[in-house]
Amino acid sequence: AQSVTQLGSHVSVSEGALVLLRCNYSSSVPPYLFWYVQYPNQGLQLLLKYTSAATLVKGINGFEAEFKKSETSFHLTKPSAHMSDAAEYFCAVSVISGTYKYIFGTGTRLKVLA
């Protein structure tokens, strides 16, 4: 069975500092992995996706993530945090076994300090 674990429900960084949000997955088959961002009172916006091509994936707004099979990780990074990055971030793994569904982690709320 597939699952996703996001370490750290809350992360605070200073503006301009490195952002690192952690995601570990469990999957019996090669996974498709995603990062979504959710701003207050809004739906989910796709940041980036891994679909078995390049292991370093670049997304929108300067975010990127690296797929590491040996560590079963897909951590999200951004070199320099901006105030507008404050939001909730969700890692998800997709499951294709009859039904194509996403399994989400519990989310990490990012706070950016001035």
Partner 1 sequence: ETGVTQSPTHLIKTRGQQVTLRCSSQSGHNTVSWYQQALGQGPQFIFQYYREEENGRGNFPPRFSGLQFPNYSSELNVNALELDDSALYLCASSLGTGIQYFGAGTRLSVL
Nearer to partner 1, 17 or 109 (CB): 109
Residues that bind partner 1 (rule: CB under 8 A) add up to a total of: 24
Nearer to partner 1, 10 or 18 (CB): 10
Nearer to partner 1, 19 or 89 (CB): 89
Vertex 63 angle, CA 60 and 83, to 5°: 95
What are the contacts of 13-16 at 24+ separation with CB within 8 A? 13/81, 13/110, 13/111, 13/112, 13/113, 14/81, 14/112, 14/113, 14/114, 15/81, 15/82, 15/83, 15/112, 15/113, 15/114, 16/80, 16/81
Site for partner 1 contains 98 (CB under 8 A)? yes
Site for partner 1 contains 106 (CB under 8 A)? yes
Site for partner 1 contains 40 (CB under 8 A)? no
Site for partner 1 (CB under 8 A): which residue of 3, 45, 55, 80?
45
Site for partner 1 contains 61 (CB under 8 A)? no
